[in-house]
Structure 1
Amino acid sequence: MDRWTGVLRVPVQPNRSPAAVYCRVAASLRLSAVPPPSANLMFFTGDRVEGSGNPVVDRLSDLSTIADVLVSKFGPSSNAWVIEAPAFHGPFSVYREFVPGTNRYGEPKSYDPSGLPASASLVSLLRNCLVQVEEEISKRKKDIAIGLVSSPLCCLPRTIILGFSKGGTVINQLVAELSQAEVLSLGLLCGRVPSTKEELLNSIEEVHYVDVGLNSSGAYITDGSVITRIAERVARGGKSIRFILHGTPRQWGDKKRAWIRREKDRLLRLLDSASRQTDRRITVTEKLYFADRPPDLQMHFEIIEKLEVDPVAGS
């Protein structure tokens, strides 16, 4: 048993109180500690699309399918976590536990890093997920001691965060929080997932915006002070970080929501400037998919399967 895969209903909070908020999480986890997992891939999904009648859309709406796609792209030494919003208003995903102050449609008022809320919720969610995985494995294989939660590793795996569609709001919040995080040395830290907000933020090495978009402003983070502070923390010894903006004509070419492209272009300019300031320890890449096709819903989901990424080291 080298890998565990499954879909769990996981509490966001550290305990399972009656008022706990839950997320559905599809996990595909490397169980062997030798060699240790090389990366944790954390993918946040968007709004629900039910009964589309399109087999591509339906298949790539499935959390388990997305987890399999991620492992196939980034490599078998990685762990994949595909996280669905804790709440929905009709089809609209609402990540309020990660992005405080969102309205009932899941649209953010701002990205306020105070208290590092997205990092706190994500660390708690991942740890609760590992506990449930151990419980599931112990039920099936009582003679196997996995030790997912407690077993030490030589170093903390790198973190790669991906936000698809509305899931980009969580990516923006994490980027805002990264700009406020204390710089830590992770060389001596052990574990399968980060155990603190600061460990999580310091382990982030790649940020993927995957055809993000909203029916309001805020699809991309455009606060220049956030990117400036990230450049400053990289200069102080923080990890190098890659930003990859993946998009399709459905979002970047939508004339009724022209702010999506404007926000993307502004973030691109800000990151280009930060790249020059940090001797390319911050890098940014823009990738357009399906440029020769008219916009449609299928390409919005199909981009998940077509993502161009670099496999992680050790895969």
Structure 2
Amino acid sequence: MDRWSGILKVPLFPGSRGHYKVAASLFISSFSQNPIVPSMNAIFFNGDRVRGTGNPVIERLSDIEKIGEIIVSKFGENVNVWVIEASKFNGPFAVYKDFIPSVNKWGEPTSYDPTGFPASTSIVSLLSSSLTQAKNILSSKHKDPISLETPNPCFSQPKTLLFGFSKGGTVINQLVTELAFLEINSNIIPSHDKNEIIPTSKETFLNSITEIHYVDVGLNTSGAYITDQDVMDRILKRVLQVGPRIRFVLHGTPRQWRDSMRVWIGNEKDAMVRLLNGVSKKSGEKLSVCERFYFENARANMQMHFEVIEKMDIS
């Protein structure tokens, strides 16, 4: 057993002109009759670029490979981690156009629309391309057989944990919306003939989500958090009928939640927590919500915005 980590540059779809930068940290199992396989895929969507600050903490936590190491340290070795940057930037602004078609030139969403399921379709394709590239790299470097899959027919697909940091929270909002509007009868997960360690369809991906982490998200316009009652009601219906259990965790700092120039961030966060608490009470413990505030007594600054990545409590 071992772990491989590296930076990949992969197209969203074969032949795509744009490439995504993905920091992958993958659990590797040697071939055997009973290989150990990862129990989860942790997918982290990064935010805008902040460079040239001269602050060593910000510089270190702007490194997506370092973020991958931090996520592994929080969950242990039995996890695959994928840290994703937007393929397009307008200056420092991340633009997740493939995941959220209705964004402006600064990457700010005008709406979250499930039509066509763009975010879930994109992430399935991106993970597949990333895994293929990682396998090719590993095959060229290792003489002994290694596996990122398992021949075990009793294999159970790993659960999925989502993280959206800063602007990356917009992708999480789109995915939550798509999960809410996924047909209930699509909960049937097809047999895994290839025993894939990543989801191979939007249905298997969305149905594998068990944790959703908002990590100090915020925008210069509204839309940082989901405040749509219909979306929450649909999420409640889904977990009541088909599961699995879903946990929402909102991590925040004074940098976002107490910004007097962008009061809508804190207001939207409070509105989402109220909605989640409401559906949680009706869910029979199948949906839970947790709100965690860091650096509560400190003056807001940019360093804490990045430092929360390292400080966040995922228990």
Q: TM-score, normalised by structure 1?
A: 0.94
Taking the TM superposition and a 5 Å limit, the aligned residue runs for 1:264-283 are 264-283=269-288
Q: Is the 8 A contact 2:161 2:211 kept in 1?
A: yes
Alignment of 1:57-68 (within 5 A): 57-68=58-69
Residue 261 of structure 2: SS of its match in structure 1? helix
Q: Is the 8 A contact 1:231 1:282 kept in 2?
A: yes
> What is the number of equivalent residue pairs in this alignment?
306
Paired position in structure 2 for 1:313: none
Q: 1 CA distance for matches of 2:174 and 2:17? A: 22
How far off its partner does 1:202 sit?
Answer: 0.1
Alpha-carbon displacement from aligned partner over 1:252-271 (angstroms, at most 9, x marks no partner)? 00011000011101110110
Equivalent residue number for residue 191 of structure 1: 196
Contact persistence 2:29–2:147 (CA under 8 A): no
Listed as ranges, the gaps of 5+ residues in structure 1 are 311-315
Residues 202-281 of structure 1 aligned to structure 2 (within 5 Å): 202-281=207-286
Give the drift of 1:144.
3.3
Answering whether residue 29 of structure 2 is matched by residue 32 of structure 1, we say yes
Q: Which residue of 2 aligns with 1:9?
A: 9
Task: Provide the residue aligned with 2:80 in structure 1.
Answer: 79
Q: In 2, distance between residues paired with 1:150 and 1:97?
A: 31
- Tell me the equivalent position of 1:144: 144
Q: Within 2, Cα distance between the matches of 1:256 and 1:115?
A: 35
Distance in structure 2 (CA, Å) of the matches to 1:31 and 1:144: 12
Q: Secondary structure at the match of 1:243?
A: strand
Assess if the C-alpha contact under 8 Å between 2:119 and 2:171 holds in 1.
Answer: yes
SS of the residue 1:179 aligns to: helix
Q: So what's the TM-score if we normalise by structure 2?
A: 0.94
Does the 8 A contact of 1:89 with 1:104 survive in 2?
yes
For 2:48, give the aligned amino acid.
D
User: Contact (CA 8 Å) 1:242, 1:284: kept in 2 or not?
Assistant: yes
1:200 correspondence with 2:201:
no
Partner of 2:101: 100
Gaps of 5+ in 2: none
Matched, 1:20 2:21: no
Percent of residue pairs bearing the same amino acid type = 51
Cα deviation for residue 213 of structure 1 reads 0.2
Deviation of the 1:36 alpha carbon: 1.1
Residue 171 of structure 1 is matched in structure 2 by: 172
Conserved in 1, the CA contact under 8 Å of 2:27 and 2:148? no
Q: Which amino acid aligns with 2:305?
A: H
